[in-house]
């Protein structure tokens, strides 16, 4: 069996749920576990989140919802994107799945497949990804009700809540509040009002509404560099730790090169360790230029481009075959965080975490 694994600390996740639900006290807490729980394993993460007090769970796909139900998880499930009309029978079969809706076709298909189903109206206040335009919200909500569905909630999604100094989040809130006022004036109860993602929950208390939808910060990471200090201040704990071990140690002589493309050249006799993990496992290929892993509690620089199944790091005489290697997480007093990797390769923590490959065993 490969030594490479992804350790998932469910106690840390429970702690994070407690902290994050505490800062949104009074709001229903919805833990977003889409994309296999951001790569951490949807079912174990969902169970731990519910044990820690999460009231709802959110997914992106019908298949993700069905997986949770098959595992015996019975809390309300929010589906964050409107299913295709042909999928509405599957939505009904899952049981307790609340889709967000915003199109006539979606509303009519769900009403035909499952009359009386609770649904949420998604309003596009500026993200321009999904949702109904604000000036069409009342008519769409009325159509949803007239079709025989139950309007359980009204939602929107922030575009830049992870940049707290950007005034656009305030503008989105104003647009959303105007929609809620229009619904009220039309005699339509919006039900559960929700807008705040992780960044909104942490940085915009006024956006908490009656439910918050927390995703990335469940796993102990900041939604963006601008919120790193706030997350650190909350005491959130890193949940995932990507580990492997040294498979080979050899000396590379001066003038010799390492890995494809011969991008790194030794300028002195250099001990190089091979680690059996690569970009097929989710380690970004470009990380080699600014990346380091932990061996023996010390940072060891990556040498040469990351290959599909292996990478190489520079080590000292104190490193031997079988020594543990940490690519994400802590070893001794040192830590490599997902935020560091994201910054090094010009990406975001969401991509770093969800890229951990399916062939990497998860140990919960």
Catalytic residues: 34, 260
- Pairing state between β 324-331 and 240-245: antiparallel
* Pure H helices in the chain: 10-23, 34-38, 42-51, 62-70, 88-94, 104-113, 137-146, 168-185, 198-203, 228-234, 338-345, 349-354
Q: At how many degrees (to 10) do helices 137-146 and 104-113 cross?
A: 20
Contact 290, 257 (CB under 8 A): no
Structure tokens at 260: 């494809």
Map residue 157 onto helix, strand or coil.
Answer: coil
- Cα angle vertex 97, ends 204, 125, to 5°? 35
Q: Are 41 and 358 in contact (CB under 8 A)?
A: no
For the sheet with 270-275, list strands across it.
248-252, 270-275, 311-315
Give me the sign of the Cα torsion angle 257, 263, 265, 271: negative
Round to whole Å and give the CA distance between 187 and 203: 32
CB atoms within 10 A of CB 44: 17
Question: Which distant-in-sequence residues (6+ apart) come within 8 Å of 68 by Cβ?
Answer: 33, 42, 43, 46, 57, 59, 77
DSSP character string of 253-314? PTT-EESGGG-EE-SS-EEEEEES--GGGT--GGGGGT-EEEETTEEEEB-S---SS-EEEE
What are the backbone dihedrals phi and psi of residue 99, each rounded to the nearest 5 degrees, phi first?
A: -85, 150
Q: Check if the beta carbon of residue 119 is closer than 8 Å to that of residue 151.
A: yes
């Amino acid at each position: 069996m490969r030594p490479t694994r992804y350790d998932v600390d469910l106690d840390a996740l429970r702690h994070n749920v407690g902290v994050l639900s505490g800062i949104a006290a009074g709001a229903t807490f919805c833990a977003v576990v889409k994309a296999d729980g951001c790569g951490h394993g949807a079912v174990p993460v969902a169970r731990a989140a519910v044990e820690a007090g999460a009231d709802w769970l959110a997914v992106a796909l019908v298949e993700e919802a069905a997986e949770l139900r098959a595992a015996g998880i019975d809390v309300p499930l929010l589906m964050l994107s409107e299913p295709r009309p042909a999928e509405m029978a599957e939505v009904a079969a899952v049981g307790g799945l609340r889709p967000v809706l915003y199109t006539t076709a979606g509303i009519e298909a769900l009403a035909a497949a499952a009359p009386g189903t609770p649904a949420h109206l998604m309003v596009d206040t500026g993200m321009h990804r999904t949702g109904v335009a604000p000036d069409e919200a009342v008519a769409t909500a009325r159509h949803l009700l007239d079709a025989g569905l139950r309007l359980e909630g009204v939602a929107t999604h922030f575009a830049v809540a992870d940049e707290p100094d950007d005034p656009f989040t305030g503008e989105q809130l104003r647009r959303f509040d105007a929609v809620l006022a229009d619904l009220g004036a039309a005699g339509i109860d919006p039900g559960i009002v929700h807008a705040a993602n992780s960044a909104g929950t942490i940085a915009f208390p006024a956006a908490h509404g009656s439910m918050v939808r927390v995703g990335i910060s469940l796993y102990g990471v900041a939604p963006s560099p601008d919120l790193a200090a706030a997350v650190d201040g909350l005491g959130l704990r890193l949940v995932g730790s990507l580990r492997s071990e040294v498979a080979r140690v050899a000396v590379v002589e001066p003038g010799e090169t390492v890995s494809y493309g011969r991008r790194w050249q030794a300028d002195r006799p250099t001990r190089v360790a091979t680690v059996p993990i690569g970009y097929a496992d989710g380690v970004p290929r470009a990380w080699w230029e600014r990346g380091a892993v932990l061996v023996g509690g010390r940072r060891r620089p990556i040498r040469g481009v990351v290959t599909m199944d292996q990478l190489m790091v520079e080590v000292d005489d104190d490193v031997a075959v079988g020594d543990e290697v940490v690519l994400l997480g802590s070893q001794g007093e040192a830590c490599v965080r997902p935020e560091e990797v994201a910054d090094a390769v010009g990406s975001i923590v969401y991509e770093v975490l969800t890229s951990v490959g399916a062939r990497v065993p998860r140990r919960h």
